[in-house]
Each structure stands twice: as C-alpha cells, then as structure tokens.
C-alpha cells in the first residue's frame, strides 16, 4: 500500500477514474485502465486509474470530479492506494466473446458492475461487440432486461399504463407530441419518457423542451402524469434502467446497436415506468434503421416474444420511414409543426402516422373496437381535445399552456435551396437531411433545422424552393448550406447529380 497526496481536479470525464504519475503507478504495480483501491479514513472506493508523465508530480494522486462526488477528501490530504481485483463480470464478458450463452446470474452481475462503474469503456465495448457478433438468445435478452430494470428506479402508477416507442432513424418524427395527448384525452394514462437526440436532429425530449420543462425525477413524473393523464419527459434524470445510458455512450462511437441489447433497453425502460400496454413503431425504408419489411417483421416478432415473457400487451406498427415525417426537422421547427397538426392543419404524413399508432393504443386499452382505433384517434384530434390535453400537459410541466406556433422562435439565419430543373421529387434522403440539420446546429441550437417544401412525388418547377435551412449563427448556416450543395438531399427527376471528371 502506498500513500499519496490528494490533488482535486475539477474535471468530469463521465466515469470514475483517478490519475497517477507514471512512476507511482509502476511502484504500486498498476497500469492504465487497471483497478485501484483508494482509502482515506473510513472512506473506501474502487476506481479506474490512468497515468501521466507531466500533469501530476510524483507522490500525488489526481482525484477527478467523478470520483470526488463519491470519495470526499481534502486537497493535500494523504490517500492510501493499492491494486484492486478486477470485477467478476470480466470473465463473463470473455465467455460471451467466445460465443457461449450467459446465465441469469451472469447477466445480472455484468449489469450491476456496469451501473456501479466497475467496467471501463474498453470492457463495455467488448461486451457490446460480443452481443453484436455472437448474438443473444431470447433467454439472455430476458435476463438482461430484468437486470436493467432491477438496477434502476421503478415507478408504480397503481393503474394500467400505456406507452409507445419508436426505434428511430427517421428525421422529423414528432409523433409523440400528438400521440400522448390523443391517448390521454381518451382517459388512458401515458407517462412518456423520451430521449434526446444522439445522432439525429431532434429527439422527442429536445422538441418537447421547446414547450415545457422535461427534466424531472421519478416522484415528480408520477405527480405530473397522474394529474394530466400523460407526460412527455426526458428519461435521463429519472434513474430508470441506468445501464442503457452507459451502453449508448459506448455504442455511439462504435456506430452499432446490437438487436438483442436494443430489445432489452427498450423494454426495460417501459417496464421501469410500469407500462403494460405498449406500441412499438418500426419505421422501414432507405435511411431508416430497418430497411426492409422482412427485417421489420423479424424484429417485431422478437419484440412480441420478449413482451410475452413479462406479461406485457405489446403490438408493433411497421411504418413508412423512407423520408422525413412531416416537413419540419429540428427542435423548434418540429414543435411548431406539432402544434399546427393538433389544430387540424398538419401534413398528412404526420397526422396519419400519429393517429395510426395512437389508435393501436386505444384498441389495446379497449377504448376503441379492433380496426377502429385510427378513426377514433382522428375524431379526438379533430375535436380539439388532443390540443387541449397537450396544453394541460405543458402547464403541469411548467410551460406556457397558451403558446402558439407563431410564438416559437426559429433561427434567423436562413438559406433556400431551389429546384435546378422542372420535374418530380423522386427522393428525399433521411441521412442527408439529418446531417445538414445537425450542421446547422440542431439539436443543441434549438432554432436550427430544415423546413422541407416538397417531398417525394410532388411536381416542381425550376426555381421552386425545395427546402429552407435555419440556423442561429451565420457560420453554422454556411456550413449547412455547403453541405447541402454537396449532398443534394432532395432529388428532382432530371437533376445532374455528379460530373466526372470534375472541372479543373
């Protein structure tokens, strides 16, 4: 055991880690990414170690903010340091890497070590890659789902609870802002927990945040949802299925999303909020996560099989995902379009998809007869009850219930992309629209995004505006505009897409 002087480093890196001088690490017998036991008085903590040659003096230990929040020591106090044993779950991850199925206890141990920050990003990545390449059995997916629920907060609403989830990948998918108030207006409880965008232009939480607060703890969510029969909040502050956020953080740079883990992640979050009636939206098309109907059917079958193991009533809706939903992409623009749709003036693609999925929930809740849910949902929408209900939800979440679409500010720097020739719009690229909207600043800069004037099948004339880019900063607009010229996200029949060789 070695004693080192504590140096507090006011820096958060997203995982518990201390910093040692390279020579101290050699003396202790530890390497970067190893585990270290640190002790000060009665306080003990096992954490990761990284090393430096110059940032610390020899004899110092750098206590980062992530560790300091759990291991309070005074600047300059002495800390005892010694090597610690690696967590047991490492051998279970290796087992999965070798293609062998995991037991219930092994899945639970991996999940528990994950949420207790006992696994490094490298080890988490190894587990994710093992899931991707070796696959998970349905038993393993069930075990992981249960473990993810048990290691987080669980909310009990003491009544039947309804929910929906989209597997994502399609820009402009603000259907939740219509579905939740339609279902809540019908008298069903729908406390919707949503995510922020990771690779997209706006997550549901990003869009709802334009209208009201979305960050609440579990007790606050329960109070809000029971008061209004619905809520639309960010799931990140609730503490439900915390393993999911830690896995997503590593999945993102790897650009993979193992199917088994996706199933476990989605259903664990639904189970954590007591949802026993769930609709899963699986968009299909070029640029969506699922590109064929066959693959969507296979995924839907897995969702249904897993839900049956938890006595959940679940249906999957396979929806068209070959181009954006509605015409607006970006937080503020999507919030505007959602309010317009609730007033009965929204684009057909948004209204049709929203009422189809809401109708499925109404049928699950026996509010509507089989095959009549969509019509029932449309009647609620047309009556103004859904708009009234959303305003009620906005109010209980601390927003202005009287907000109008025109009150929502969007980026004041704009550029228009026009049709280069007469013809029909033959393609709108999901990936390109998302990339350009992000280049413009979305979702971080709420007023940034894209307003599509025309979509697939529309006839346009040379010089017609195809879409408008919005940004909050001129530099971002320039970046997005240049990207748009290069990517050509909207294709008009007869357009010259490339010229080779390029002009000198």
Q: Which residue numbers are catalytic?
A: 257
The token pair that represents 503 in the structure block: 């002009």
Contact residues for 98 (Cβ-Cβ < 8 A; gap 6+):
none
Closest CA to 126 of 84, 96, 83: 96
The residues pairing with 318 across neighbouring beta strands, listed in sequence order, are: 282
Contact residues for 149 (Cβ-Cβ < 8 A; gap 6+):
241, 268, 271, 272
List C-alpha distances in Å: 435 to 343, 361, 405, 449, 477. 30, 33, 25, 10, 13
**Measured in whole angstroms, how far is the alpha carbon of residue 277 from the centre of its chain?**
21
List C-alpha distances in Å: 231 to 181, 248, 374. 9, 24, 21
List C-alpha distances in Å: 95 to 88, 107, 111, 294. 12, 11, 15, 32
CA angle 113, 119, 122 (to 5 degrees): 150
Tell me the C-alpha distance between 118 and 120, whole Å: 7
List C-alpha distances in Å: 83 to 349, 423, 495. 59, 69, 65
The token pair that represents 354 in the structure block: 């929203």
Please give the DSSP secondary-structure letter assigned to residue 290.
B
Strand 230-234 relative to strand 43-52, pairing: unpaired
Contact residues for 230 (Cβ-Cβ < 8 A; gap 6+):
180, 181, 183, 184, 189, 190, 191, 192, 389, 393
The residue assigned the tokens 């409880």 is 189
The token pair that represents 24 in the structure block: 């101290």
CA angle 468, 474, 479 (to 5 degrees): 70
Q: Which SS3 state, helix, strand or coil, does residue 384 take?
A: coil
b/e map 387-417, b = 16+ CB within 10 Å: bebbbbbbebbebeeebeeeebebbebebeb
Q: What is the DSSP string of 432-472?
A: HHHHHHHHTTTTTSTT-EEEES--TT-EE-TT-EEEEEEES
Please give the DSSP secondary-structure letter assigned to residue 168.
-
The residues pairing with 417 across neighbouring beta strands, listed in sequence order, are: 467
């Amino acid at each position: 055991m070695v004693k080192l002087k504590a140096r507090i480093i006011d820096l958060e890196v997203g995982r518990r880690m201390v910093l040692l001088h390279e020579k101290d690490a050699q003396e202790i017998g530890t390497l970067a990414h190893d585990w270290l036991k640190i002790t000060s008085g009665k306080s003990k903590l096992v954490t990761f170690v990284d090393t430096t040659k110059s940032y610390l003096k020899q004899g110092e230990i750098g206590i980062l903010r992530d560790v300091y929040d759990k291991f309070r020591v005074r600047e300059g106090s002495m800390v005892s340091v010694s090597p610690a044993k690696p967590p047991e779950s490492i051998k279970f991850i290796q087992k999965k890497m070798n293609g062998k199925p995991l037991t219930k206890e092994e899945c639970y141990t991996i999940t528990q070590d994950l949420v207790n920050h006992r696994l490094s990003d490298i080890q988490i990545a190894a587990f994710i890659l093992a899931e991707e390449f070796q696959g998970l059995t349905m038993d393993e997916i069930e075990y992981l789902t249960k473990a993810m629920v048990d290691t987080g907060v669980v909310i009990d609403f003491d009544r039947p609870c309804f929910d929906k989830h989209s597997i994502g990948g399609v820009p402009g998918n603000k259907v939740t802002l219509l579905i939740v108030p339609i279902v809540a207006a019908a008298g069903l409880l729908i406390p919707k927990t949503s995510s922020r965008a990771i690779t997209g232009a706006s997550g549901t939480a990003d869009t709802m945040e334009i209208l009201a607060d979305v960050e609440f703890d579990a007790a606050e969510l329960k109070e809000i949802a029971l008061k209004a029969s619905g809520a639309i909040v960010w799931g990140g502050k609730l503490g439900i299925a915390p393993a999911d956020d830690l896995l997503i953080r590593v999945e993102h740079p790897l650009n993979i999303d193992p199917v088994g883990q996706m199933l476990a992640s989605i259903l664990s979050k639904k189970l954590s909020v007591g949802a026993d009636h769930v609709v899963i939206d699986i968009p299909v098309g070029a640029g969506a996560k699922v590109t064929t109907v066959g693959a969507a059917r296979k995924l839907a079958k897995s969702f249904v099989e897993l839900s049956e193991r938890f006595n959940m009533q679940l249906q999957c809706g396979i929806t068209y995902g070959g181009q954006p939903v509605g015409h607006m992409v970006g937080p503020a623009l999507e919030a505007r379009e959602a309010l317009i749709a609730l007033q009965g003036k929204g684009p057909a693609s948004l209204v049709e998809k929203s009422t189809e999925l809401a109708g499925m929930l109404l049928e699950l809740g026996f509010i509507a007869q089989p095959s009549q849910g969509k019509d029932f949902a449309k009647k609620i929408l047309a009556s103004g009850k859904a708009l009234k209900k959303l305003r009620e939800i906005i109010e209980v979440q601390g927003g202005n219930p009287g907000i109008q679409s025109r009150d929502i500010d969007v980026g004041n720097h704009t550029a228009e992309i026009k049709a280069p020739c007469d013809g029909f719009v033959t393609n709108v690229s999901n990936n390109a629209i998302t990339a350009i909207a992000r280049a413009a600043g979305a979702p971080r800069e709420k007023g940034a995004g894209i307003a599509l004037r025309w979509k697939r099948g529309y006839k346009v004339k040379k010089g017609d505006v195809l879409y408008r880019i919005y940004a909050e900063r001129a530099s971002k607009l320039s970046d997005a505009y240049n990207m748009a010229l290069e990517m050509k996200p909207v294709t008009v029949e007869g357009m010259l897409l490339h010229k080779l060789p390029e002009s000198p």
